[in-house]
Amino acid sequence: MSGNYASIVARLMSGSRCSLPVVLWSLVGCLLMLRIYSLLPHKDALSRELQNHPGKHFVDLREFEEEENLRIPPPRGKRSPRATKRRPKRMTTFINEFLDDSSQLRHIFFPDIKMAIDPTKHKDNDSSYYYPGRIWLDTEGNPIQAHGGGILYDKRSRMYYWYGEYKDGPTYHAHKKGAARVDIIGVGCYSSKDLWKWKNEGVVLAAEKTNETHDLHKSNVLERPKVIYNENTRKYVMWMHVDSANYTKASVGVAVSDSPTGPFNYLHSKRPHGCDSRDMTVFQDDDGVAYLVYSSDDNRELHVGPLTEDYLDVTRVMRRVLVGWHREAPALFKHKGIYYMITSGCSGWAPNEAMAHAAESILGPWATMGNPCVGGNKILRQTTFFAQSTSILPIPRLPGYFLFMADRWNPANLSDSRYVWLPMRVAGLADQPLEFEFRFPLWQRVSIYWHKRWRLPHGSSG
Ligand SMILES: *[C@@H]1O[C@H](CO)[C@@H](O)[C@H](O)[C@H]1NC(C)=O
Ligand SMILES: *[C@@H]1O[C@H](CO)[C@@H](O)[C@H](O)[C@H]1NC(C)=O
Ligand SMILES: *[C@@H]1O[C@H](CO)[C@@H](O)[C@H](O)[C@H]1NC(C)=O
Ligand SMILES: *[C@@H]1O[C@H](CO)[C@@H](O)[C@H](O)[C@H]1NC(C)=O
């Protein structure tokens, strides 16, 4: 972008006679350069620490370069002449391998139980490391069941609570052409002080087993539960996507509890602002106002609207954002007064490319900044590391660093879906100009860094 301005200025200057436009354009150029300079990452305490203790920091630059050794295995059995003639696109092939539960690459996407992250076994060297994609055990040695989830930091108990879909049941297809599903079991809750060792607090909102007309009857759909705390009412409020098995109900549900570990009392479901609502999240701003963000108009756009003061309902205010972008799985965060959002494309359980978006006002307009994934290899970056965004948590005491939480869905066995948690940073120049205005954006680049293994810097959690 700066090159464009420089060349405009250069062309104007080459007209030799110094005219008013030339002076003005030069001035504009200088101001833009200053703006760019102010956005460049400056040496802060963190980068000094990085220089002094490179190995100690979780952003290990050597790992950025490390590539997963992904190779497409030779085709099994006979292929149709048409298939052999048409050279498959690498990306499609990898996604097919990912979706094929008999693929030879299975162990790369879904490492088996022997590789599980197990906080009950205290090997000093292995402690506190995240291994994205591996089975993750709780403090009782069982795989964590908190899919499509989010984390609440509870100031009162100084604990983290991770809520998500408890999917420990059989995967089946309700209709021949229907997507793979698991009956609703409920919302699982896990507690932790360090974001690594998680204690199972049980199912805090359970499915309805007998009443078939109930929203949470096991034959329906409950996805993406998120919990926020309301300081005024002192209630923990859960919002979730509630749907029928064929996804035509497209509603949001609300439940409430006096305790972070439930039990949550289910209140009702509705179509917010009279619109269909599928993937969703809630975001609590610094000023205590909370917002519902949901995919609507058959996922063509997102809607953003503030909740009522008690967080139990939406208000009448709603804005349509990212219209025509077809995004889902929204995860929001705020940094230095700017709102950011990561979304995925809409391709069912199959992974796709993430996008980062930014806005000065949460109600929009939102600009799209491109794919935030960094490191690994192209296939990993273009599939969001074979995962889908679900939530983002600021890393305590590390301004500008966030924990990016994503789900690696396993459509053959949804209960065996994995978690992909990675460090995310907001720093440096945004690499795309604003689409809707001729000016530089106020925001910075969002980068989600691939790591096979990483951990939070000592003392940053809790
Ligand atoms: C721990 O790691 C260090 C260096 O990475 C290594 O020398 C040592 O053998 C490891 N210890 C164990 C018990 O794995
Ligand atoms: C079943 O659920 C519906 C909707 O929540 C409710 O109106 C009804 O009273 C319930 N029936 C029984 C028998 O609990
Ligand atoms: C979807 O399911 C609901 C009941 O769960 C049913 O009333 C509706 O007719 C179904 N719609 C389609 C298009 O199958
Ligand atoms: C699905 O995964 C779970 C682990 O979460 C495992 O216990 C179960 O046996 C698997 N089911 C099938 C059919 O492979």
**Sequence spans of domains, the chain:** 2-39, 47-449
Helix (H), strand (E), coil (C) string for the chain: CHHHHHHHHHHHHCCCCCCHHHHHHHHHHHHHHHHHHHHCCCCCHHHHHHHHCCCCCCCCHHHHHCCCCCCCCCCCCCCCHHHHHCCCCHHHHHHHHHHCCCCCCHHHHCCCHHHCECCCCCCHHHCCCECCCCCEECCCCCECCCEEEEEEEECCCCEEEEEEEECCCCCEECCCCCCEECCCCEEEEEEECCCCCCEEEEEEEECECCCCCCCCECCCEEEEEEEEEECCCCEEEEEEEEECCCCCCCEEEEEEECCCCCCCEEEEEECHHHCCCCCEEEEECCCCCEEEEEEECCCCEEEEEEECCCCCCECCCCEEECCCCCCEEEEEEEECCEEEEEEECCCCCCCCCCEEEEECCCCCCCEEEECCEECCCHHHHHCCCCCEEEEEEECCCCCCEEEEEEEECCCCCHHHCEEEEEEEEEEEECCCCCCCCCCCCCCEEEEEECCCCECCCCCCCC
**Ligand 4 near 143 CB (within 6 A):** yes
Best residue for ligand 2 mutational test, from 184, 205, 211 (most atoms within 8 Å of Cβ): 211
The CA 176 to ligand 3 mean position distance, Å, reads 15
Q: Closest Cα to residue 377, out of 55, 72, 54?
A: 72
Fold of the 47-449 domain: Tachylectin-2; Chain A (2.115.10)
One-letter identity of residue 304 = V
Quick one: pLDDT at residue 21? 64
Q: What is the number of the ligand 4 atom nearest to the C-alpha of 145?
A: 5
Quick one: pLDDT at residue 126? 64
The CA 237 to ligand 2 mean position distance, Å, reads 22
**Ligand 3 near 217 CB (within 6 A):** no
The CA 224 to ligand 3 mean position distance, Å, reads 22
Q: Residue 453: nearest ligand to its CA?
A: 1
Quick one: pLDDT at residue 152? 98
The CA 246 to ligand 3 mean position distance, Å, reads 6
Between CA 439 and CA 43 the distance in angstroms is: 26
Quick one: pLDDT at residue 86? 52
Q: Residue 242: nearest ligand to its CA?
A: 3
Burial class (CB in 10 A: 0-12, 13-18, 19+), 194: middle
In the structure encoding, which two tokens stand for residue 432, read together?
């795309």
Q: Residue 143: nearest ligand to its CA?
A: 4
**Ligand 4 near 432 CB (within 6 A):** no
Q: What is the number of the ligand 3 atom nearest to the C-alpha of 220?
A: 5
- Each of the 462 residues of the chain gets a pLDDT tens digit; together they read 444 444 433 443 343 344 666 666 777 665 666 555 444 444 444 444 444 443 334 444 344 334 455 566 665 555 455 544 555 566 678 899 999 999 988 999 999 999 999 998 866 656 889 999 999 999 999 999 999 999 999 999 999 999 999 999 999 998 888 889 999 999 999 999 999 999 999 999 999 999 999 999 999 999 999 999 999 999 999 999 999 999 999 999 999 999 999 999 999 999 999 999 999 999 999 999 999 999 999 999 999 999 999 999 999 999 999 999 999 999 999 999 999 999 999 999 999 999 999 999 999 999 999 999 998 888 999 999 999 999 999 998 898 999 999 999 999 999 999 999 999 999 887 766 556 555 667 789 999 999 999 999 876 654
Quick one: pLDDT at residue 25? 73
The CA 201 to ligand 2 mean position distance, Å, reads 27
Q: Residue 214: nearest ligand to its CA?
A: 2
In the structure encoding, which two tokens stand for residue 290, read together?
């909370």
Between CA 359 and CA 306 the distance in angstroms is: 16
**Ligand 2 near 102 CB (within 6 A):** no
The CA 102 to ligand 4 mean position distance, Å, reads 14
Q: Residue 219: nearest ligand to its CA?
A: 3
In the structure encoding, which two tokens stand for residue 427, read together?
């720093």
75 to each of 53, 72, 258, 402, how far by Cα in Å?
Answer: 47, 8, 56, 40
Nearest CA to ligand 4 atom 12: 413
**Ligand 2 near 211 CB (within 6 A):** yes
423 to each of 235, 351, 420, 449, how far by Cα in Å?
Answer: 30, 19, 10, 6
Q: What is the number of the ligand 4 atom nearest to the C-alpha of 171?
A: 13
Quick one: pLDDT at residue 228? 98
